[in-house]
Every structure is written in structure tokens, then in C-alpha cells.
Structure 1
Amino acid sequence: MADINEARATFSRYDADGDGQVTPDEFKRAMAEMGDPFVTGPVAEAVIKSKDANSDGTMSFDEFWQALQG
């Protein structure tokens, strides 16, 4: 089980504008900053979609936390 404080810190690295939602563009940019330049737009969209439980096109912290639990 992941530590929620570490998860919040990681989530904040993805959530560039601090609005509580991670968009595919934010995810792609964060992955590039963390050393993975191979995450393309379609890959980022697929990752966000796979974690987007309410189908709003973004990943909230709750959705991120839930994905870590599985």
C-alpha cells in the first residue's frame, strides 16, 4: 500500500497548474521532466483515460490514489 503523503507529493508533480486535475498534457510534460521523453500525446491520453473513473478526461488525486491501491 502506498503512503498517502508520498502519493500527494507525486500527484502534485503531475498537476502543473495546481487545479487538482491532471490532464494528458500535464502528464506528458511531467514524464518528460522526470526523464521519460517517450510518453507521447496518445500514450498520455491512454494513461489518463485508464485512471479516469468518472470519464471527465482528467485524473483527480482520488483517481490517482485508487490506481495506486490496485
Structure 2
Amino acid sequence: MADIEEARKAFDRFDGNSDGLITAAEYKSAMAQLGDFHVTETVAQAVINAHDSNNDGLLTFEEFLASRAKG
């Protein structure tokens, strides 16, 4: 249970507008806040696409959680 709560907190840091989806722009912004200014929107989209199981170009919490489980 703690792992899911931890994942939810991490997801919420990336989901800037709290709509339940992480966009490339939100991913890039969160990475910059974490100190990684080298992540471009193109790179962010590639990361999202690698874990985007329904191919909509966005990351849901379920997809985010699954990516952490692989990790």
C-alpha cells in the first residue's frame, strides 16, 4: 500500500494541472523542477511514449505505476 501511495505522490508532482494525465510539457516542467534542465519536450514525449500502453501520447496513473513496477 505504501508503494502505491508513494507512486501517487510522485505522479502528482508530474501532473501539473491535476487532470490525471501527464503531458510532455508537464513532464519537462517537473524534471526542470527536479534540477534536470536537459529534458526537452521531445525527450519527455519519448519517455511517455515508452510507457504509454494506449498510445494516446499521455501518461495515466496506471501507466505510470506500471512503468515503476518494470523499473
Give me the TM-score of the superposition, normalised by structure 1: 0.95
Segments of 5+ residues of structure 1 without an aligned counterpart are: none
Q: CA deviation at 1:52?
A: 0.6
Over the matched positions of the two proteins, sequence identity in percent amounts to: 48
Amino acid at match of 1:53: S
CA RMSD across the alignment = 1.0
Segments of 5+ residues of structure 2 without an aligned counterpart are: none
Quote the Cα distance in structure 1 between the aligned partners of 2:46 and 2:58. Answer: 11
Q: CA deviation at 1:42?
A: 1.1
Quote the Cα distance in structure 2 between the aligned partners of 1:65 and 1:42. Answer: 22
Amino acid at match of 2:14: Y
Structure 1: which 4+ aligned runs deviate by more than 4 Å?
Answer: none
Quote the Cα distance in structure 2 between the aligned partners of 1:42 and 1:57. Answer: 12
